[in-house]
Amino acid sequence: MADKSKIGMEFPPFIYKVERGKIIEFTLAIEEDNPLFVNSEAARSAGYKDTPVPPTFLTVPFMWNNIVPKALEELKVDYLKSALHGEEEYEYFEEIYPGDILEGKSKIKNITEKVSKRGMINLIEIETIYTNQRDHKVAAARTVIIEQIKEE
């Protein structure tokens, strides 16, 4: 069962350089057909300074930095036997563009115990705050992992 004493625990910050090619690859992978994300001219015509990242793009730096496995290890949660992805949420404060250098700071925000149809679960919330190279807070991301609590 998740160690609730770890609520508030912060992970070392990570750096991620936003590359145009990664934006295009991600856009293709999610089958997004909006030209704003792959065509600079279309983006500028729409009022952007360049191609912004798609709304769920921050999954890329988050996953590359293995935050979920690190958090679950700290919480003593068996990722393969008792955990699954529950939810993602993104809040943007500024656009993110190719060339931006993001710093992500993740922490275990909360652990909430609930009753489900299959018994007790923990909802493990991990929050990541992203700032850019100008030290502007550009986004907040929230991930929820569901832990099935084993009956003893």
Which CATH number does the domain housing residue 119 bear? Answer: 3.10.129.10
Is residue 87 domain-resident?
A: yes
Is residue 77 domain-resident?
A: yes
* Angle at the Cα of 99 from the Cα atoms of 94 and 102, rounded to 5 degrees: 55
State pLDDT tens for residues 90-142: 999 999 999 999 999 999 999 999 988 888 999 999 999 999 999 999 999 99
Total of domains in the chain: 1
State pLDDT tens for residues 36-76: 999 999 999 999 999 999 999 999 999 888 888 899 899 99
Range of the domain at 76: 4-18+57-148
Q: pTM of the prediction?
A: 0.91
